[in-house]
Amino acid sequence: MNWKLAARAAKMNPSVLREILKVTERPGIISLAGGLPSPKTFPIQAFADACAEVLHNDGQAALQYAASEGYAPLRQAVADMLPWNVDPAQVLITTGSQQGLDLVAKVLIDPGSKVLVETPTYLGALQAFGPMEPNPMSVASDEDGVIVQDLVAKAKDARFVYLLPNFQNPTGRTMTEERRAAVSAAAAEAGLPIIEDNPYGELWFDEAPPLPLTARNPEGCIYLGSFSKVLAPGLRLGFLVAPKAIYPKLLQAKQAVDLHTPIFTQRMVSAVMKDGFLDRHVPTIRALYKCQRDAMIAALTREMAGLDVKFNAPKGGMFLWARLPEGIDTVKLLPKAVERNVAFVPGAPFYAGLGDPRTLRLSFVTASVEEIDTAIAALAVTLREELALLGEHQLAPAPV
Ligand SMILES: Cc1ncc(COP(=O)(O)O)c(C=O)c1O
């Protein structure tokens, strides 16, 4: 058969990262590479009870087709959860926030459209935008998020800027209050829509992050949220909040994709969440992840002593970002680390433009404290060996 692929299929490359991470799939590896929440946090009994309750009380409706907008009590619960005045009519329940990114791409991107992203940014967003053939452009960023002057300089004719203000994936950084105020004002002034992705915002360790960008200018933003990190990712349940002018288009795009997000799951989560369950459950996730973050920082401080290794101390979320000494390429370092039974994610694929080969992302949530200690020690040995090799090459006589 002569299959002729659509031009956009060429843009659907296998995730570079997935290819790189294939080497990590060996048994015995301690993986700091995954983007998975800790399964210890999944409230299995609460789901078992809610599942029985939904089937018993509303079984027929729970197994029937349902509204594309989502289950009304869940949309109301989402509106109530958010820290600004949200009309539940503006809430669209999505099949994970990843679907929200897909819908945004379909509704807002034409081939060649300029789309602004952070440096670096969430790889899954670049993947979701890719088939719509945008021209993604990186906005210079520092520890506090995007730099406003560069955002303003690049804003003209951009369809939107995609931002992750809280405990960003991959860097773990958080946008400060001052930066949020400045970004929000600059985007409003430039007429630049903001897509705000916030799957990690509830996972703060010492204090809640500043108000979302959307709360400052709801008409200028689409907000994406998720139940993956506060309940469980296997639910595939997320939501978006959109201005009323754009909501119908996002809804129509969703209808074409999957008609609606599984209603059984929506009803079950709605049943789990009643009586303030999240207010009791989420603090237990915060406590666990904080302890693991502390363990990783202690291990890095101890094991990388004397090396030019920079890393941050995220105030929440699941990831820490590190930069290794001059001359190291983390893509090449990974197989050597895997030989020593530790895996991480190289940073370069997270950049829309040229990546920084010295960077890497470490997840501190799925490995135990003991495993974190072992893994960081193994990573330090790998790095010292690589640096020694680099030193030898530099000393070797130049080929004639
Ligand atoms: C920044 C970001 N956005 C969106 C997603 C997708 O999450 P969901 O499970 O809600 O589809 C992830 C998943 O890791 C993420 O890190």
Q: What share of the chain in percent tops pLDDT 90?
A: 89
Query: What is the per-residue pLDDT for 139?
Result: 98
Count other C-beta atoms under 10 Å from residue 183's C-beta.
Answer: 26
**What is the domain-level CATH number for residue 206?**
3.40.640.10
Q: How many angstroms is it from 169 CA to the middle of ligand 1?
A: 9
**What is the domain-level CATH number for residue 366?**
3.90.1150.10
Query: What is the per-residue pLDDT for 34?
Result: 86
Per-residue pLDDT reduced to its tens digit, 14-63: 776 777 777 777 888 999 998 899 999 999 999 999 999 999 999 999 99
Per-residue pLDDT reduced to its tens digit, 60-93: 999 999 999 999 999 999 999 999 999 999 999 9
Query: What is the per-residue pLDDT for 270?
Result: 98
236 shares its domain with 324: no
Whether residue 165 is predicted with pLDDT greater than 80 in this model: the reply is yes
Alpha helices for 168-273 (secondary structure H): 177-190, 213-216, 247-258, 263-273
Nearby residues of 253 by Cβ (< 8 Å), 6 or more positions away: 103, 106, 107
Query: What is the per-residue pLDDT for 64?
Result: 98
Torsion, CA 229, CA 233, CA 235, CA 236, rounded to 10: 100
Which of 18 and 199 is assigned the larger pLDDT?
199
Q: Distance of CA 80 to CAs 75, 84, 198, Å? A: 9, 9, 16
Query: What is the per-residue pLDDT for 18?
Result: 74
Number of domains forming the structure of the chain: 2
Least Cα distance to 239 among 214, 222, 255 occurs for 222
Which of 13 and 330 is assigned the larger pLDDT?
330
Nearby residues of 307 by Cβ (< 8 Å), 6 or more positions away: 324, 325, 380, 383, 384, 387
Query: What is the per-residue pLDDT for 393?
Result: 62
Q: How many angstroms is it from 309 CA to the middle of ligand 1?
A: 28
70 shares its domain with 217: yes
Query: What is the per-residue pLDDT for 381?
Result: 97
Per-residue pLDDT reduced to its tens digit, 221-261: 999 999 999 999 999 999 999 999 999 999 999 999 999 99
User: Are residues 162 and 125 in contact, defined by beta-carbon separation less than 8 angstroms?
Assistant: yes
Whether residue 126 is predicted with pLDDT greater than 80 in this model: the reply is yes
Q: How many angstroms is it from 188 CA to the middle of ligand 1?
A: 26
264 shares its domain with 299: no
335 shares its domain with 265: no
Instruction: Compute the average pLDDT of residues 129-147.
Output: 96
Domain membership of residue 1 (yes or no) is: no
User: Of 275, 297, 326, which residue is a domain's last?
Assistant: 275
Domain membership of residue 116 (yes or no) is: yes
Domain membership of residue 284 (yes or no) is: yes
User: Are residues 237 and 261 in contact, defined by beta-carbon separation less than 8 angstroms?
Assistant: yes
170 shares its domain with 82: yes
Token readout for 319 is 């990831």
User: Are residues 155 and 192 in contact, defined by beta-carbon separation less than 8 angstroms?
Assistant: yes
Note the maximum CA span of the chain.
Answer: 81
Residues having CB within 6 Å of any atom of ligand 1: 35, 96-98, 122, 124, 164, 169, 197, 199, 226, 228, 233, 238
Instruction: Compute the average pLDDT of residues 149-171.
Output: 98
Distance, CA of 363 to CA of 33 (rounded, Å): 6
Token readout for 398 is 């130049």
Query: What is the per-residue pLDDT for 394?
Result: 62
Q: Which atom of ligand 1 is the closest one to the Cα of 99?
A: 11
Query: What is the per-residue pLDDT for 91?
Result: 98
Query: What is the per-residue pLDDT for 27?
Result: 86
Per-residue pLDDT reduced to its tens digit, 176-186: 999 999 999 99
As a whole number of Å, the CA-based R_g of the chain is: 22
Distance, CA of 342 to CA of 31 (rounded, Å): 6
Q: How many angstroms is it from 224 CA to the middle of ligand 1?
A: 9
Structural domain containing residue 283: 9-42+279-395
> pLDDT tier at 9 (50, 70, 90 boundaries)?
confident
